[in-house]
Amino acid sequence: MPRNGNSSQDRVIDPTDTKSKILDAAEELFMEHGFEATSLRLITTAAGVNLAAVNYHFGSKEELFQAVLTRRLDPMNQDRMQLLSAYESASNGKPLTCEKILAAMFIPALKLARDHQQGGKNFLRLLGRAYADPAPFIREFLSSQYREMIARFRSAFSFALPHIPREELSWRLHFVMGALSYTLAGADMLKIISQIHPEEATNDELLLKRLAPFLAAGLRSPSPAEDGGHHLFQET
Amino acid sequence: MPRNGNSSQDRVIDPTDTKSKILDAAEELFMEHGFEATSLRLITTAAGVNLAAVNYHFGSKEELFQAVLTRRLDPMNQDRMQLLSAYESASNGKPLTCEKILAAMFIPALKLARDHQQGGKNFLRLLGRAYADPAPFIREFLSSQYREMIARFRSAFSFALPHIPREELSWRLHFVMGALSYTLAGADMLKIISQIHPEEATNDELLLKRLAPFLAAGLRSPSPAEDGGHHLFQET
DNA sequence: GCTCAATTGAAACGACCGTTTGAATTTACG
DNA sequence: CGTAAATTCAAACGGTCGTTTCAATTGAGC
């Protein structure tokens, strides 16, 4: 009895085996109902497998959730870092533009959103929910999954924007991640905020072509320490 | 038997009555565990009231959740619109700056975060979770709560930035809402993204003094239609 | 073909869920 | 004070939950 294991595919991935069927069904159902509200019975019924298969292959519901996240999140963040390295190698030691660094963040996310016709979009919504979940096992998992990639991109931005203090840059990177994840995950909020035509709202590439310039302008803006001392939050 | 009702306090709010005790406990527990994972038994035990009191005073668990949201969200959005109107009245028909409009959005949220020492922060985190929840009853509720406020602020930005096409502005307003809600709600994500000192991360006012200039720069940036045709998402 | 481990299967475990019921209690008021 | 409405209470309703157990089945290597 393996009881878990095979954490980073020791064998080839077979989309018809029990583990993959569970992961596919869990991804869609976790996205739709959240972690706590999705029962293992719902997942195993949708996957066409026995209820006990989840505990046999993944150990527990929490470990299944982590497996669902890591299956796509880990490759996506690896892609981001590889793409960033490729851009840097091609620049001959010159700093990259903010747009270029943002492209290294966005393109792998876009690829994920497009690749698996429904799975990709489902996963990004699931990720958006996980960001807002305070459950310790989720937060610690996301932290470990993101730490390396975030450090890598902060260095790149620091090199591209040497006049921005490192701490200010950490904040701006936080804002970038917020707008990106919110935009990729919360398509439904668009219907609240605007009367944007639905057929356009589904075009993620166009969306990010609008988001990247928006964020690049914010990243390049003067550091608050050198803006002449505006007093924004003074009433009247 | 009233069976619900009293939707916008017909009587004075008494922080020691059963309804308020339930709302306070529910706000904290919904924030911590999410809607589905928070049981009415947990809420009523924490509030020190009988289990049946929720169904008696609010009708159902879903209606209790909406009552928790509307108690603070509705006043906050009213404050935002009143503040925006006050700024506009003081400007003698001249367009407001982006920073000023953003201040009208941020200040009421900041007031909420500070007012109720723990309740305020709890509520904003709860709101962040609700944004990412696809449950129809949550999405429809948020949509109805935000529609008027969003329309009001889109008009203000449209007046302040007449050269930005209205559709582009809708997208940028979406990005603003995303970065703001993500920032206000997801304080824990900061620990993932940066090594920002915790004692500073809790200072929301400083946080928004960094966020507002960042977003204002993005809002003012040239419209993509007139940026000369960059090709950001061309690989290589 | 036999053996033994890997996997699947059906059933049950105790626990907790949202809601309802109807009686007991408190409150408001003529 | 008496009475009718509002509120609180304990208990139970039918269900669903994650997990475990153990027998049945499968599959690979000798």
Query: pLDDT digit string (tens) for A18-45?
Result: 999 999 999 999 988 889 889 999 999 9
pLDDT at B234: 47
Tokens representing A118 are 């429904």
Beta-carbon-side half-sphere exposure of residue B110 (alpha carbons within 13 Å)? 19
Instruction: State the residue range of the domain holding B85.
Output: 70-222
B3 dihedral zone (left: phi>0; alpha: psi -120 to 50; beta): left
Q: Provide the token pair at B175.
A: 């990005």
Q: Which nucleotide is nearest to A62 (CA to C1')?
A: D18
The minimum CA-CA distance between A14 and chain B, rounded to whole Å, is 30
Alpha carbon of B8 to those of B15, B19, B221: distances in Å?
15, 13, 42
Q: What is the CATH number of the domain that holds B132?
A: 1.10.357.10
- Residues of chain A with C-beta less than 8 angstroms from the C-beta of B31: 134
**Residue A5, amino acid:** G
Q: Is A205 on the interface with B (CB under 8 A)?
A: yes
**Residue A134: inside a domain, yes or no?**
yes
Write the CA distances from B214 to A208, A220, B41, B71, B97, integer angstroms. Answer: 18, 9, 44, 30, 14
* Pick from B40, B60, B39: nearest CA to B49: B40
Q: What confidence category does residue A60 fall into, taking pLDDT thresholds of 50, 70 and 90? A: very high
Asked if the structure places residue B43 within a domain, the reply is no
- Whether B136 is in a domain gets the answer yes
Is it the case that residue B56 has pLDDT exceeding 90?
Answer: yes
Which candidate from A150, A208, A210 shows the least CB-CB separation from B168? A210
**How is residue A85 written in tokens?**
């390295």
The pLDDT of residue A178 is: 85
Is B33 among the domain residues? no
Residue B37 lies in a domain: no
Q: Give how many domains chain B has, as a whole number.
A: 1
Residue B162 (CA) to nucleotide C26 (C1'), in angstroms, measures: 62
Within 8 A of A35 by CB-CB distance, chain B residues are 37
B31-42: pLDDT as tens digits: 888 898 899 999
Which pair of tokens denotes residue A210? 């609008």
Mean pLDDT of B192-206: 54
Tell me the pLDDT tens digit for each residue of A121-154.
Answer: 778 888 888 888 878 888 889 988 998 999 999 9
**Token pair 């919110």: residue:** A182
Q: B2 lies in a domain?
A: no
Is position B164 within any domain? yes
From A193, A63, A119, select the one nearest B148 (Cα to Cα).
Answer: A193
Nearest chain A residue to B29 by CA: give it: A134
- Chain A residues with CB-CB distance to B182 below 8 A: 131, 175, 177-179, 181-182
In a domain, B44, yes or no: no
pLDDT given at position B3:
47
Dihedral angle of Cα A126, A128, A133, A139, to the nearest 10 degrees: 90
